[in-house]
A and B are shown apart, each in its own frame.
Chain A
Amino acid sequence: MRIVCPHCGERPVDEFVPYGAAGLKRPDASASTSDWLDYVYLRDNKAGMHGELFYHVGGCRAWLIVTRDTRTHAIAEVVAARDQRDAAR
């Protein structure tokens, strides 16, 4: 598997560290136990397009959001996590 880093170009997956689902919203400190349980443990495990955080530790050291199809592992999009966050603001 190879990932096209928006900063570094195409690189083997072992240059990256996966971190899990992207786009999770951290609950407020006063949120209920069930909200925290959901945030920390419960994942959708969907069959289809799924966004995940990857850290390019062997390259530019940027956090990336890799969107892939969990049924085929075909990667649809790779963006810098910071750019996506800035665009959302």
Chain B
Amino acid sequence: MPQRIGRADGPAGVTVHERGDLSLGLITARRGMRTTCIDSLRASYDLDAPMTARIVHGRTLSLAWAGPETWLAIGSARPDIETELKAVVGQAASIVDMSDQRVVMRISGPMTRTVLAKGVTIDLHPRVFKPGDTAITPLAHITTQLWQVDDTPTFDLVSPHATARDMFHWLTVSAAEFGLDVGRTQL
């Protein structure tokens, strides 16, 4: 049973759970080797690393744009994503295992955009921000990467581990008026 925070009656306006089973790797193409890097990622994962602020999903890996010539690779738990990605890109990029450095929270429900609007300055209106779009921007003054998962709407929020508890606290306060269901992994 999820734990309800804030408004107790009716369905939750927002739900949240931690996606705790992920492996995360940061891929930064070396100077002049962007094309080689993108080609090797395509050959291994059948994914085109996005050149704009988008996230793409393959069978075993997702690639989120994370700055110019930089991508965050997201996979379900695997033994060693750093070694895996290094084997794929070789000398074309530097790889850092971010699995223990970032926390990914998935928030969903009808009031999700209203709650996010309390913390970000960018426009998340469905007219301009769509599933597959990603942004790096402060959420409640914490630098965050977020992307839209679906039209529910559902978003993933990626926070540095050190500030994840602060972000979660911000969420409990900001979503309380709509009812927040906290599922599975508690922070």
Chain B associates with chain A: yes
- B53 interface residue per 8 A CB criterion: yes
Q: With A8-B53, A58-B143 given, name 12 new contacts (CB 8 A).
A: A7-B67, A8-B137, A11-B121, A11-B137, A15-B138, A59-B67, A59-B136, A60-B68, A60-B136, A61-B67, A62-B67, A82-B68
Q: CA A51 – CA B62 in complex, angstroms?
A: 38
> B135 on the interface (CB 8 Å rule)?
yes
- Which B residues lie within 8 Å of A57 (CB)? 143
A62 touches B68 (CB 8 A): yes
A-B pairs, 7 with minimum CB distance: A60-B67, A58-B138, A59-B136, A12-B121, A61-B67, A62-B68, A58-B143
List, sorted by A's number, 12 A–B pairs whose CB atoms are closer than 8 Å: A7-B53, A9-B53, A11-B121, A11-B122, A12-B121, A15-B121, A59-B67, A59-B136, A60-B67, A61-B136, A62-B68, A80-B68
Interchain nearest-CB distance for B98 vs A (Å): 14
Number of interface residues of B (CB under 8 A): 10
CB-contacts of A47-89 with B (<8 A): 57-62, 80, 82
> Which of B's residues lie within 8 Å of A, judged by CB?
53, 67-68, 121-122, 135-138, 143
B143: chain A residues within 8 A (beta carbon): 57-58
Cβ contacts under 8 Å, B137 to chain A = 8, 11, 15, 58-59
Number of A residues near B (Cβ < 8 Å) is 14
Contacts across chains A and B counted by CB atoms under 8 Å: 34
Task: Decide yes or no: A7 and B68 within 8 Å by CB, A12-B121, A57-B143, A58-B143 being known contacts.
Answer: yes
Complex Cα–Cα for A15 and B137 (A): 8
Bound complex: CA A59 to CA B136 (Å): 5
Beta-carbon nearest neighbor of A10 in chain B: B122
Complex CA distance for A67 and B121, rounded to whole angstroms:
23
On chain A, the residues within 8 Å of B67 by CB distance are 7, 59-62
**Complex Cα–Cα for A57 and B67 (A):** 11
Closest residue to B145 on the A side, CB-wise?
Answer: A59
Q: How far is the CB of B53 from chain A (nearest CB, A)?
A: 7
A80–B136 alpha-carbon span in the complex (Å): 17
> B53: which A residues are within 8 A, CB to CB?
7-9
Residue of A nearest to B51 (CB): A7
A16 to B: closest C-beta gap in Å: 11
- How many angstroms from the CA of A15 to the CA of B68 in the assembled complex? 17
Cα–Cα, bound, A11→B137 (Å): 9
**What are the residues of chain A within 8 A of B135 when measuring CB–CB?**
8, 59
Contact present for B136 and A8 (CB under 8 Å): yes
Q: Please name all residues of chain B whose beta carbon is closer than 8 Å to the beta carbon of A58 when the two chains form the complex.
A: 136-138, 143
